[in-house]
Amino acid sequence: VYVRSFADSDGDGYGDLPGITGKLDYLAWLGIDCIWLSPTMPSPDDDWGYDVASYREVHPALGSMADLTTLVAEASRRGIRVLLDLVPNHTSAAHPWFAAALADRSAPARDYYVWADPAPGGGPPNNWRDATGGPAWTLDDRSGQYYLHNFLPSQPDLNWWNPAVHREFEEILRFWFDRGIAGFRIDVAHGLYH
């Protein structure tokens, strides 16, 4: 279900979680036993929600945590499980981890991302391209290092070689499982390790 366009419960022209809840009888009538929600976490929306700014909240344009809780409970009552889209390859540049990484080169969150020194000539570390065809590296002027982004420059890639990133995502998964989420579709699962 692409939440933003599936069903608008409040008439603002933007689909939302209560809109899906209102359509559960219809989905059950169709024989649906599981729904996968497109990105529902807060985001600046540079990439339709795939630039996550917080992994433990609901995008305010889509509703609230209470709305998601209601959706999960009402879906379960109808024998429908709810999956979320999880984006572990990268965050938004607006995520607090990246803000901390930019603010202090010695911050623990700095190693949550993929950084590299400039090439000997002073340019990007290599010739990698992102999904848009542009350079996959953006210079952080403050630190003099480049960060990797395989998508938009506002989507810095996470460093999955860092065990702390594993621990963060274990906690994120537990957070959602504890709220009744049945599972996840993992975005860019093939690209986690660089």
- Summarize the confidence of residues 118-141 as an average pLDDT: 96
Q: Is the pTM of this model over 0.85?
A: yes
CA distance 44 to 156: 14
Cα separations in angstroms, 118 against 85, 128, 194: 34, 13, 17
- Give residue 166's pLDDT band: very low, low, confident or very high (50, 70, 90): very high
Kind plus residue range of the DSSP H or E element containing 175: helix 163-177
Integer angstrom CA distances of residue 83 from 6, 65, 163: 16, 15, 25
Q: What is the pLDDT of residues 41-67, one digit of tens each?
A: 999 999 999 999 999 999 999 999 999
3-state DSSP call for residue 36? strand
- The tokens for 87 are 């984006």
pLDDT at site 149: 98
**Average pLDDT, rounded, for the chain:** 97
Determine the average pLDDT of the residues in 101-130: 96
Mean pLDDT of 14-28: 98
pLDDT at residue 194 tops 90: no
In this predicted structure, the answer to whether residue 32 has a pLDDT above a threshold of 90 is: yes
Alpha-carbon distance of 146 to 128, in angstroms, equals: 12
Dihedrals phi, psi of 178, to nearest 5 degrees: -65, -20
CA distance 25 to 175: 27
* For residue 123, pLDDT beyond 90: yes
